Amino acid sequence: MTAEGRIAKLNRMRSPAPAASAARPPRDRAVRSYVLHGQPVTAPPLAPGLHLVATPIGNLRDITVRALEVLAGADVIACEDTRVTRKLVDHYAIATPLTPYHDHNAAEARPKLLARLAEGAAIALVSDAGTPLVSDPGYKLVLAAREQGADVTALPGASAVLAALMVSALPTDRFFFEGFLSAKEAARRTRIAELNRIPATLVLFETGPRLAAALADLAEGLGPREAAICRELTKLYEEVRRGELPALAREIAAAPEPRGEIVIVIAPPAAQGELDASELDALLRQALDRVSVKEAVAEVTAVTGQSRRAIYQRALELSRERDHGR
């Protein structure tokens, strides 16, 4: 070996090895694009962090240009069901890889996503439809990302909750989003009794197989309030039925089982007076059976509009009585 060769070999030996934990190299910029109205568009560079992207609830055209830029520019898209999100990204010719993130794999998938965030990746989080974190498992990922110092950005857009409120012809100045009621009859009826006093329009999600039973219990627990059943919003067979809860319950019970995504919007109750002590205790006991004292106080305060301090004191008393009785 020549002197020059020995020097070159020595220099190679002295050079530090690449760090094993180095961030992944960025994907080829050529694939960071999307197609809009038949024209390819290059996505701008995307800052590292977790990007929460609202996606269409039915009509694929109900997406923002900014959402397309983020979906195309991200290193990965975390989604509930890759088959559902694949239809959206294929429609806009987006090549970003998809990874599942849902209730059943979150404990395993979340650390991997957080590790990629720590490496400087840009991750888009989407739900199957609508705005992430509304009745989906994204909350814990957002919380953990914030705790480790990652930037979190929200991209607003489609929402089944707001779309249903818009077409319901019911008061929209104050509303309470409940999400899905329990599939168990006893728990569902108990929760409806608690919802009865909330002084706001109620918004609930429901499935076709459970709709008839849920409406029957809502009619019994809430009485003849005006309501709207909004099905397949923004899609080809969009349908909105309006009427009083008992009438709607009878209609749905007599009809074939409905298909598709369903939102129920229910008018607020008529003005109610102050609860007496026994009614307040009943509400608090129901809540304390399910949640902590703090959460029970928050629920009952929201439902009744009464003094939080008074409700908190009574909740503590009931909690002590329950503990002493065990």
Q: What is the pLDDT of residues 35-47, one digit of tens each?
A: 999 999 999 999 9
- Do 223 and 291 fall within a single domain? no
- Do 185 and 239 fall within a single domain? yes
> Is residue 11 situated within a structural domain?
no
> Is residue 16 situated within a structural domain?
no
Chosen domain end from 112, 139, 158: 158
Question: What's the CATH number where 261 sits?
Answer: 3.30.950.10
Answer yes or no: are the C-beta atoms of 143 and 150 closer than 8 Å: no
- Do 34 and 143 fall within a single domain? yes
Query: What tokens appear for 283 in the block?
Result: 């509400």
> Is residue 201 situated within a structural domain?
yes
- Do 34 and 152 fall within a single domain? yes
| Segment among 159-168, 212-221, 265-274, 310-319 with least mean pLDDT | 265-274
- Do 149 and 33 fall within a single domain? yes
Range of the domain at 36: 29-158
Quote the pLDDT of residue 20.
33
- Do 213 and 235 fall within a single domain? yes
Task: With a cut of 60, say whether residue 25 has pLDDT above it.
Answer: no
Task: With a cut of 70, say whether residue 257 has pLDDT above it.
Answer: yes
Quote the pLDDT of residue 10.
38
- Do 202 and 255 fall within a single domain? yes
> Is residue 177 situated within a structural domain?
yes
Which tens digits make up the pLDDT trace of 187-198?
Answer: 999 999 989 988
Q: How many domains does the chain have?
A: 3
Say what percent of the chain tops pLDDT 70: 88
- Do 122 and 45 fall within a single domain? yes
Could you say which DSSP state residue 200 is in? S
Chosen domain end from 103, 138, 158: 158
- Do 238 and 129 fall within a single domain? no
Task: With a cut of 60, say whether residue 131 has pLDDT above it.
Answer: yes
CA dihedral angle for residue 158, residue 162, residue 163, residue 169, rounded to 10 degrees: -170
- Do 150 and 170 fall within a single domain? no
> Is residue 2 situated within a structural domain?
no
Confidence of residue 272 (pLDDT cuts 50, 70, 90): low
What Cα–Cα distance (Å) separates residue 100 from each residue in 80, 115, 216?
A: 6, 16, 36
| Segment among 36-50, 133-147, 301-315 with least mean pLDDT | 301-315
- Do 59 and 146 fall within a single domain? yes
- Do 35 and 135 fall within a single domain? yes
Chosen domain end from 220, 247, 266: 266
Answer yes or no: are the C-beta atoms of 59 and 236 closer than 8 Å: no
